Structure 1
């Protein structure tokens, strides 16, 4: 002990240095946390501190008139009329029916963004009388930032006098005004610290907003939300959105006539959210979106971004295409989550059983086992002179990891088609390369299969388009100006694309996929093309950049 005491005079400087270093490191960590937190809060939409964390969906839109004026330049006369009708319906529902005019009563005091949140249905259920439960419309709230409190106060007072049906009450020190008319037109609103006005269509929803504002679980506290918004942030967005995937899944499961299987619901619960930003561009609208998993999720994304070659294997006049990096993995993920997927293009079990029944082959063992590479499914236009009944050919390509197994399966397929279905199976050559054609003399059916670059198997159905693919396209899709513009993205690597040349696709006649309802067709007619670029950015996040190229009119 004495020895230690003798050494102690030398230690204060060392202790001071160590203490200073600890403070610097600790202070730096605190500063980093603070500023990163501030950065995340700065990208939050208006009202994120008022909107409850269990909100199903949140949509924020700009109030800047220049952007809406630019938006009105896009589309056709028919699509513009539909867009104008939608805006008019919202205006009449929220303002005109209450004696308000946006330009006169709202625009002078409103901030740069308005946020609408859709709440779980149970927030709109009044169970005060269980014998006669009353269900209101979808509970929702709107948050309007106040840039001029005095003008906002004048508008509210004028509205109250004009309507004459507003009642007032207090909730946790906040004054609430509510109209006493038709429950279907019910509205409650409150002003929070002269900064934000909250409007809801149900008295319980306004109380929930106040609870959230005063410290309840808010949208700002959603795990990963701030970081996700930072990755898709833009300086002047037209709109921003967020979907609470677990809450939406629970609501869907509780209110659906066809309940989700527990496994599918559990898989959806692994997700945290899907968010995005819409930005106006000179030729359309750019969407930057991101999905992410919960912090404690057992699920992980495959971080390989392998989509590289298919864009050079398709011709530049391709009408539609979808591609990915690993067909086997893609199918496994799709099949596992299909029951919870709102878009069910294919029933996995039906396809598997159909292949087994028709050709006696197993989907997983005989096909997917050699399909662990990049793939694409595309619609390629027929060459001039093709029959009017065959305006395009459907092309499937996949890079194989085992050509020997692929050849074995394809030969068995040839034999079955010839023996069981009396197809004429014969070899042919196109541009010096071998392929196999299947044809039915009694029907106008053309199927061709072959190989590209030695390890890419292809199959075409419909119009004969093998000449467009072999030995390689004269001009590739990757070189198409429309494709390049519609898939512009800041993602360095990608895991696939989706592309539609809407203009040319709508020109096809007698094509069953295009028999659309008038409302949907009018929206498509306003577009030139749609492009999507997908990328897995980490084992918990995936990005999707979408560009919608729109037509312009002088109207």
Structure 2
């Protein structure tokens, strides 16, 4: 506020410009960081830099003043160092700054980053703003925006996962784009932060595909309003096929998705891809139903959550798929039988066993429910317990589709769309952190913003001219509540 705000202009850009400054993975990776800040008062910004470097000189730093293509660079005289136990040397981080005319003040973690930035300005075919694929992505973003983010997804995921692959930074920005380039436009909403996304994959067909849904699917009427996590839409088979293709080559992300599926498959002893996704071509909804902590045998071991899955019986393949699930249950030694649950007849997959009891009859038959399904109208409901099925059957009175929190979470998103992924962040936080411990680190790093998140909703707007479009809304507490 004292040193920078008086001269800070209306524009600021931060970037990871390279994954490895010397493009030598044998000595480890040292990423290059660039910060470009617009100045509204060139004289005051120069005074700031002068005082900034004077303090470092007084503290004993050796400064280097370099004239590069008409721009004055200032940085510390960091030398390349040799890591202990290794023969290779790597560049050390050295804060550097430059003033470009009367418009921008640049900061970087190495003078090479500044030299590359100056080259990019003077050679238009090198900078991102001139890249054809960047202009193509921007052309599909329709909403007003206050900020823009551009992500090369393969490089970001490999960098985050620590994969030591060969850097491709030598290619100019206008070269043939690698797979998965994501552009995110940020918009302020009185209730939170909205984002419109454009994902460009060169292998996708250059066609326009319109999304089918103008409102939440009817399957959501069977998901109780207290469900903290839900996914809904139409044609689950098509969604999974497209997602599988997009995740190829992204080991870290694919592993996360496979882990989530593996836990459900292990619980239900199913191959979800072949036994479920294949026949769900109509509406679907998946919801998490938290189990009360009192049902847990110990507070340190939370009871497993219940799930409800709703699928539209849209064609004969659905009936065949449901019958196949009953057959798979029987092959696994489960009994498939009818149970009356209120006025509804449901099919239960149960495992029968004997349990010793201190009574005149020492052996008693015990049935452990592994899964339940029921036909209700044009939908088939699947749950992991009888209690969950009872909640799903009663959900029409208080369903997630009519819940005020859910409506507030999806209201800023555009229609038509392909459905919604919804997270009630407050209610689902503990569950997600148990499933994905990395979220605890992200939560800690994202304070205090994460503490104000109330919900998250994600959707897809189909494909326009070969660009996959989507939307995200993060609802924040204290804003328009």
- The residue number in structure 2 matching 1:451 is 375
Q: 1 CA distance for matches of 2:122 and 2:376?
A: 64
Q: Say yes or no: does 1:435 pair with 2:346.
A: yes
The Cα shift of 1:482 comes to 0.5
CA contact (8 A) 1:315 1:476 kept: yes
Q: 1 CA distance for matches of 2:287 and 2:272?
A: 24
Q: 2 CA distance for matches of 1:170 and 1:346?
A: 50
Which secondary structure state, in structure 2, belongs to the residue aligned with residue 240 of structure 1?
A: strand
The Cα shift of 1:547 comes to 2.3
Which secondary structure state, in structure 2, belongs to the residue aligned with residue 413 of structure 1?
A: helix
The Cα shift of 1:494 comes to 1.0
Which is helix-richer, 1 or 2? 1
CA contact (8 A) 1:274 1:290 kept: yes
Which secondary structure state, in structure 2, belongs to the residue aligned with residue 473 of structure 1?
A: helix
Q: 2 CA distance for matches of 1:249 and 1:515?
A: 18
Q: Say yes or no: does 1:113 pair with 2:26.
A: no
Show the 5 A alignment for 1:207-246: 207-216=115-124, 217-226=126-135, 228-229=137-138, 232=141, 237=146, 239-245=147-153
Q: 1 CA distance for matches of 2:158 and 2:211?
A: 31
Which secondary structure state, in structure 1, belongs to the residue aligned with residue 329 of structure 2?
A: helix
Tell me the number of residue pairs that the alignment of Structure 1 and Structure 2 aligns: 426
Larger radius of gyration: 1
Q: Say yes or no: does 1:308 pair with 2:231.
A: no
The Cα shift of 1:293 comes to 3.9
Q: 1 CA distance for matches of 2:443 and 2:352?
A: 36
Q: TM-score, length-normalised on structure 1?
A: 0.65
Q: 1 CA distance for matches of 2:131 and 2:152?
A: 9
- The residue number in structure 2 matching 1:423 is 334
1:115–1:385 distance in 2 versus 1, CA, 3 Å: closer
From 509, 534, 542, the counterpart of 2:468: 542
1:436–1:542 distance in 2 versus 1, CA, 3 Å: same
Q: 2 CA distance for matches of 1:187 and 1:515?
A: 34
The Cα shift of 1:393 comes to 2.1
- The residue number in structure 2 matching 1:464 is 387
1:423-471 deviations in Å (ceiling 9; x for gaps): 23211344644321122244743411122322x3221114622233337
- The residue number in structure 2 matching 1:104 is 2
Q: 1 CA distance for matches of 2:4 and 2:106?
A: 14
Q: Say yes or no: does 1:161 pair with 2:161.
A: no
1:185-225 deviations in Å (ceiling 9; x for gaps): 40222222221122222222211111111124211112243
RMSD between aligned alpha carbons?
4.1
Which is strand-richer, 1 or 2? 2
Q: 2 CA distance for matches of 1:218 and 1:539?
A: 23
CA contact (8 A) 1:271 1:297 kept: no
- Residue segments in structure 1 that go unaligned for 5+ positions in a row: 1-102, 260-267
- The residue number in structure 1 matching 2:73 is 176
Q: Say yes or no: does 1:411 pair with 2:304.
A: no
From 450, 455, 458, the counterpart of 1:529: 455
Q: 1 CA distance for matches of 2:318 and 2:204?
A: 36
Which secondary structure state, in structure 2, belongs to the residue aligned with residue 204 of structure 1?
A: helix
From 100, 113, 118, the counterpart of 1:205: 113
1:508-530 deviations in Å (ceiling 9; x for gaps): 89x95487875456666543222
Show the 5 A alignment for 1:77-92: none
The Cα shift of 1:328 comes to 1.2
1:135–1:204 distance in 2 versus 1, CA, 3 Å: farther
1:202–1:136 distance in 2 versus 1, CA, 3 Å: farther
1:170–1:412 distance in 2 versus 1, CA, 3 Å: closer
1:479–1:193 distance in 2 versus 1, CA, 3 Å: same
Q: 2 CA distance for matches of 1:394 and 1:192?
A: 57
CA contact (8 A) 1:428 1:436 kept: yes
- The residue number in structure 1 matching 2:198 is 290
- The residue number in structure 2 matching 1:499 is 422
Q: Say yes or no: does 1:489 pair with 2:412.
A: yes
Q: Say yes or no: does 1:476 pair with 2:399.
A: yes
- The residue number in structure 2 matching 1:318 is 227
Q: 2 CA distance for matches of 1:513 and 1:126?
A: 36
CA contact (8 A) 2:418 2:462 kept: yes
CA contact (8 A) 1:324 1:495 kept: yes
Q: Say yes or no: does 1:397 pair with 2:310.
A: yes
1:331-379 deviations in Å (ceiling 9; x for gaps): 222333434233234449x97xx89x967x8954x65443222322211
Q: 1 CA distance for matches of 2:395 and 2:201?
A: 40
Q: Say yes or no: does 1:379 pair with 2:288.
A: yes
1:496–1:370 distance in 2 versus 1, CA, 3 Å: same
- The residue number in structure 2 matching 1:333 is 242
1:444–1:257 distance in 2 versus 1, CA, 3 Å: farther
Which secondary structure state, in structure 2, belongs to the residue aligned with residue 324 of structure 1?
A: strand
Q: 2 CA distance for matches of 1:448 and 1:431?
A: 14
- The residue number in structure 1 matching 2:186 is 278
Q: 2 CA distance for matches of 1:514 and 1:368?
A: 24
